[in-house]
């Protein structure tokens, strides 16, 4: 079920650093220097965005040199560029662990096992991870907190997630 060609967001170009063509990259990885281990960092369309040839830690990521950048102006022009890595470049997670990207496309099932939708995306708006669910019957997507209460069972190998719909989580019927 898992698509190992899926791209995972790992960083974003913050702009130039200094006057010698270095680039600052905000890292979304546990170890910012890991950005140099993944090979070329890709744009959302899969084309090469940045190839870090050397890097050093910075307060929010790394500062370094990239094959595609020779001047501060070129680095500044890439500001905001989101950088991705294919899922298959990451190590397999430990038992009982997974990457959030592995949730994309899995089936969302209710307590009776009926498919109610599929996970379209995983978002974080500041408080916690939210699963964006695309309903089976079509129509607008809706969000579900990715908590044990709202998503009590995950079967990645089977490609499904048991959910408790928002109207069922902690709400009582009006009296």
Q: Where in the chain is the domain with CATH 2.30.30.240?
A: 100-168
Query: What tens digit of pLDDT does each residue of 40-64 get?
Result: 999 999 999 999 999 999 998 999 9
Closest CA to 68 of 90, 47, 44: 47
d(CA 85, CA 11): 9
What confidence category does residue 95 fall into, taking pLDDT thresholds of 50, 70 and 90?
confident
Flag whether pLDDT at 3 surpasses 60: no
Q: What is the architecture of the domain spanning 100-168?
A: Roll (2.30)
d(CA 23, CA 110): 47
Residues in the chain, overall count? 175
Cα–Cα separations (whole angstroms), residue 124 to 86, 105, 146, 147, 153: 21, 18, 10, 13, 20
d(CA 73, CA 85): 25
Query: What tens digit of pLDDT does each residue of 139-175 get?
Result: 999 999 999 999 999 999 899 999 998 765 554 444 4
Domain 7-89 CATH (choose: 3.30.565.10, 2.40.30.60, 2.30.30.90, 3.10.450.50): 2.40.30.60
Q: Where in the chain is the domain with CATH 2.40.30.60?
A: 7-89
């Amino acid at each position: 079920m898992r698509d190992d060609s899926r791209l995972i967001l790992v960083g974003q170009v913050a702009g130039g650093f200094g006057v010698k063509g270095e680039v600052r990259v905000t890292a979304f990885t546990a170890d910012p220097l890991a950005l140099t281990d993944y090979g070329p960092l890709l744009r959302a369309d899969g084309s090469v965005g940045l190839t870090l040839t050397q890097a050093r830690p910075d307060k929010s990521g790394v500062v370094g040199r990239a094959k595609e950048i020779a001047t501060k102006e070129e680095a500044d022009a890439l500001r905001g560029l989101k950088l991705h890595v294919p899922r298959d470049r990451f190590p397999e997670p430990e038992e009982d662990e997974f990457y959030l990207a592995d949730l994309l496309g899995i089936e969302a099932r209710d307590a009776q096992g009926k498919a109610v939708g599929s996970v379209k995306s995983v978002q974080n708006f500041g408080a916690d991870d939210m699963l964006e669910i695309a309903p089976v019957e079509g129509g607008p997507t809706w969000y579900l907190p990715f908590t044990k209460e709202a998503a009590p069972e995950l079967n990645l190998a089977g490609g499904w997630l048991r959910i408790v719909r928002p109207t069922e989580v902690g709400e009582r019927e009006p009296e």
